[in-house]
Amino acid sequence: MFLSLIKVFAPTTIAFFIGIIITPVLTDFLYKHKLWKKKAGKTSPDGLNTPIFNKLHEQKEVGTPRMGGIIIWASALLTIIIIWIFSQLFPNDITLKLDFLSRNQTWLPLFTFISASLLGLVDDFLQVQEPGPNYNGGLSFRNRLGVVVILGLAGGWWFYSKLGVETMHIPFTGDLMVGIWLIPIFAAVMAAMFSSGVIDGLDGLSGGVMSIIFTAYAGIAFFQNQVDLAAFCAVIAGGTLAFLWFNIPPARFYMSETGILGLTTTLTVIAFLTDSVLWLPLIALPLFVTSLSVIIQLASKKLRHGKKVFLVAPLHHHFEAIGWPAYKVVMRYWVISVIAALLGMILILLDI
């Protein structure tokens, strides 16, 4: 038990300090090359401009670099590689036990994490180009969603064909046989999680919320005796905390797509690996509320002839628009995240 705890907590700490160490290098690069949006403005998923958001954030949109999410996946990946190399160079019972890179628990979430993060990096690079013939503002929402769905179908196929998963757990009821329908269900959940990426809109918001969610899943996986997966969740939490250290207002950089895309898609894989998909809306409550607020806003504008439910969506910007300081919105989201994650963990443990 003691060694298992070290296996979870050590990578978290290592990833945090690696993130802290590499941040100055990344910061110099981002500011030297002015890797921020060259034109202020934000477009909602329905393709319409959001003037209220632009009024609130236009000054920061063009002066704060994107791609801060590199800190998260780079520190996590370096930690995984360092521990694996160490276990290979000095193989013994302890070092081999501390290595958490395993085919049945961490290969798939790691592949998802890195591939989605790199896709997000490409999108970020496109968004920071100078206006001109080669500037298109990055990948469209539909293009990103399409890639995420393809990634989700591939992940669902892996679960069904390679891992032999054919059921979904229904809380306090039992397992439901879904068979091959697991593949489209997996893709739908991943698409839903991707849509929640709009939570990356205030300094410190996404970093705080994501670190809490991944910490909760580290605990869930640990109590399910999936220690390798618990360590993987913890290492992502450590990298996210390193990012958060520099993203607390005033933010040094934004997480942007290279961070949020990798985190949301990986969260789907982890939810299926821990058989807690239907608990995900509670454990990741702020993400689902954020996504739901956008859906409600779009539906209202379409069905009620342009009438809105919120001053601006997603919900955290609505709170800004009614006069809440950004730091108050962020901290209250953190509090809600902790309570929701703890409640989700308790109910999952009762359901085991």
This prediction has a pTM of 0.93
- 149 within 8 A of 190, measured Cβ to Cβ: yes
Task: Provide the pLDDT for residue 43.
Answer: 55
Taking only the tens place, the pLDDT of each residue in 311-330 is 888 999 899 989 999 999 99
Q: How far apart are the first and last CA of the chain?
A: 19
Q: What string of H, E and C letters represents the secondary structure of 5-18?
A: HHHHHHHHHHHHHH
CA dihedral 17, 76, 204, 70 (to 10 degrees): 110
Give the tens place of pLDDT for each residue, 260-305. 999 999 999 999 999 999 999 999 999 999 999 999 999 998 888 8
> In b/e form, how buried is each residue of 113-143, taking b as 16+ CB within 10 angstroms?
bbbbbebbbebbeebbeeeeeeeeebbebee
Q: What is the pLDDT of residue 61?
A: 64
* Residue matched to tokens 């403005």: 41
Q: Which positions of the chain have pLDDT values less than 70?
A: 40-61, 131-137
Quote the pLDDT of residue 51: 63
Q: Which helix (H) or strand (E) holds 174?
A: strand 174-177
* 241-253 per-position pLDDT tens digit: 999 999 998 899 9
Helix and strand totals (H; E) in the chain: 14, 2
Owner of token pair 């300081």: 325
SS3 content of the chain, % helix, strand, coil (to 5): 70, 5, 25
Check residue 159 and give its pLDDT. Answer: 94
pLDDT of residue 165: 93
Q: How far apart are CA 313 and CA 291, in angstroms?
A: 9
116 vs 70, 121, 165, 304, CA distance in Å? 12, 9, 23, 36
How far is 257 from 144, CA to CA, in rounded Å? Answer: 10
